[in-house]
Amino acid sequence: MKGHILLLGIAVFALGVVSALENGLARKPPMGWMTWQRFRCITDCNKYPDECISEALIKRMADLMVSEGYLDAGYDYVNIDDCWSMMERDADGVLWPNPERFPNGMKHLADYVHSKGLKFGIYQDIGTNTCAGYPGMRDFYEIDAKTFAEWEVDFIKVDGCYADAVKMVEDYVLLGEIMNKTGRPILYSCSWPAYQEEEDIIPDYETLKKTCNMWRNWDDIEDSHSSVERITKYFSDNQYRIQPHSGPGHWNDPDTLILGNYGLSYEQSKSQLAVWTVLAAPLLLSNDLATVTPEIKELLLNREIIAVDQDPMGIQGRYVQTIRNIEIWKRPILPKVKEVYTHAIAFVSRRADGAPYAIEVNLVEDLGLRINSSIKGYKVYDLFQTDRKPVFVRANGTFETRVNPTGANFYRFVPVVRNTRYGKHGSSAGNSV
């Protein structure tokens, strides 16, 4: 215990000099796949051989990540969530995977995942037990950090069940310091904000940024559009508090993408994808990659949307306003043209009244886009219909979009430089229309 307190002192001192965790990881929102939402804690491999949390499942998904093109598109983590370990530690306190479900051990599985060009993630809990009741890390931080480093783990989600919501912060900080000392860069995904918010405690975002590469802000996602809507609402209601803290190396995490499962229609799938992309969210899929339909797969592999999510500035977007029950969400991205950012803008319908619903918006008043003397308007690219030609909208003009019930439209608004043939600004031909 003394050792822990000493380490914590050093950690706090060392972290005082930097503003964020600098382990070189998660410079862009992490992308990959994760077991929890689709496969939960299924452990009966006799009854559910294709779904139980096991070496076979992870290998099957790793193979599909490559063969279905997800790795090429940027999804490179394959993460096991809860329910992988034995119910007891061994005599030395070391945690082992369940031997029936992981017959060759975790190092073997990590090697397999790495051999595919993918990264390997695992799950633990800061408290005495994981949420599903498996052994937690408490009192075993050093042993587990060493074990994970030996297995060559690349990502760890550390949950917050069976722990005190206030005290867990210093435990997370301590664990981060211990993991750092292993010398293996491991992406650190924390959960303490979600547990603190449940108890109406405002998380200390400065400590979060110094400690974690990403963190779950709020409730677990479930397989329904209403769950996506609730999380979306949390992010708009609280955006002035949480949005400023997201950025390269440290991200807010609204939880996994549920596209490809049972709960979302095609339109609702577009809605989750667009909002998560505006939020600069980690794009972690939790589905069975073997049964994702071609239309949904096309959404998940949409390179232009992925490029928005992965924009190098890493600025989380914001909810702007609601016009006739269509929410407008907006995120600044590159390129910047004459001091004006490009923006990704989503129109997210909360309407269920039958027909597609059209709204007409002003660029400046309704969308809050900037115009200056060098910018004559915006070229608008449809991110869900990437084969469509962009439309030009004048600075003082309006843009009309028609959104399907419960769905979303998503666009990239690129500033267009005024034609300056006789002007003083100078212009690159590529920017003029």
Ligand X SMILES: *[C@@H]1O[C@H](CO)[C@@H](O)[C@H](O)[C@H]1NC(C)=O
Nearest approach in angstroms of CB 112 to ligand X is 23
Q: Which lies closer to ligand X via its Cβ, residue 212 or residue 281? A: 212
Strands 391-394 and 375-382, by their bridges, are antiparallel
Q: Provide, rounded to whole angstroms, the least separation between the CB of residue 99 and ligand X.
A: 30
Q: Which residues sit opposite 332 in a β-bridge?
A: 343
Nearer to ligand X, 22 or 198 (CB): 22
Strand 318-323 and strand 326-337: pairing? antiparallel
Closest to 26 in 3D by CA, of 156, 171, 194, 217: 156
Report phi then psi at 383, rounded to 5.
Answer: -75, -20
The least distance separating ligand X from the CB of residue 143, rounded to whole angstroms, comes to 18
Q: Which amino acid is at 423?
A: G
SS3 370: coil
Residue 223 is a catalytic residue: no
Q: Are 346 and 308 in contact (CB under 8 A)?
A: no
Q: Return the closest-CA partner of residue 401 out of 368, 357, 364.
A: 357
Residues 6 or more apart in contact with residue 66 via CB below 8 angstroms: 116, 117, 118
The residues, ordered by sequence, that sit 6+ positions from 354 with a Cβ below 8 Å of its Cβ are: 405
The least CB distance from residue 244 to ligand X, in Å, is: 22
Q: Choose between 22 and 400: whose C-beta lies nearer to ligand X.
A: 22
Reference 77, options 124, 25, 148, 125; nearest CA is: 25
Half-sphere exposure of 388 (CA within 13 A, CB side): 13
Q: Which is nearer to ligand X, 188 or 410 (CB)?
A: 188
DSSP one-letter code for 395: T
Residues near ligand X, by CB under 6 A: 22-24, 180, 183-185
Is the Cβ of residue 154 or residue 197 nearer to ligand X in the bound state?
154
**Any catalytic annotation for residue 159?**
yes
Neighbouring residues of 98: CB distance < 8 A, sequence distance ≥ 6? 43, 84, 85, 86
* Catalytic-labelled residue, pool 76, 81, 159, 171: 159
Indicate which residue of 220, 288, 366, 382 is catalytic.
220
The nearest distance, CB 36 to ligand X, in angstroms, is 25
Rounded to a whole number of angstroms, the minimum distance from the CB of residue 430 to ligand X is 39
Q: Based on CB atoms, which residue is closest to ligand X, 185 or 356?
A: 185
Of the candidates 165, 318, 164, 342, which has an alpha carbon nearest to the alpha carbon of residue 237? 318
Q: Mind telling me the catalytic residues?
A: 159, 220
